[in-house]
Amino acid sequence: MSIGSYSEVKTNSGMLTVQVSAEDIKAFADLAILVPKAAANAQRRAINKTLGWLRTHIARAVGRQEKIAVRAVRQRLRSYPVAGGSMRGKLWFGINPLEASRAGRARQTKAGVSVAGRRYRGAFYKKVYGNQADIWIRTASKHFDRADYPDSDVTSSKGVSSGWIAENSDRHPLAKAKISLEAVRPHFDSWSRNADERLLQILRYEMNYELQKYLKGTRRV
């Protein structure tokens, strides 16, 4: 039985499932019985449009709250539109820490690096691995603050783990600046409720559109 849209939050990601509740479907039962294919098409379009709306508004809200470029948040959102016979769409959101260099335009200064209103004293902006520059700091620096480098835990004096890179040798380990997205976790429930409201609004429009097409066709017979 369809319970409508809902959310699931895990360690590094959250999933929003968008679907029409059984109660809402009853409101359009006559059309569904009369022209089931048209009703299914309306439902599919409504869910997919709601996914697009949700992705846009979540990206804007998170970008504004966390002071992160909207494009960077959108890269963490992945839509799975309705496919096949399953009348449900999904929106995946990766909420593990985001590289600070993606929050906006990073600027190197003598004191460190600034980006999107954040300042990382003692840090430097350069390519260490891969083709993209990131914000790094030597862990031995007096300016190193673990709060600015989440998801970066060293297991031993010589070990290297998530977020930590040893430049040339273990003598000079580096930490990559990242931004925690933990603050978005409480919002998943409200996002799923907003999705339900928006889905019903669009579904009414799409069902009416299909009904008008059907009635127009019958008048021609």
pTM metric for this prediction: 0.82
Contacts for 54-61: CB closer than 8 Å, 24+ residues apart:
54/16, 54/18, 54/91, 54/191, 54/194, 54/195, 54/198, 55/79, 55/91, 57/194, 58/91, 58/93, 58/191, 61/187
Task: Please state, as a whole number, how many other Cβ atoms lie within 10 Å of the Cβ of residue 162.
Answer: 12
Does residue 31 or residue 52 have the better pLDDT? 52
The Cα–Cα gap between 60 and 66 comes to 10
Banded pLDDT at 25 (limits 50, 70, 90) = confident
Q: What integer pLDDT is reported at residue 29 of this predicted model?
A: 79
Q: What integer pLDDT is reported at residue 5 of this predicted model?
A: 94
Q: Find all residues with CB under 8 Å of 81, minimum gap 6, and list them.
A: 47, 48, 51, 89
Does residue 127 or residue 172 have the better pLDDT? 127
182-220 pLDDT per residue, tens: 999 999 999 999 999 999 999 999 999 988 887 776 655
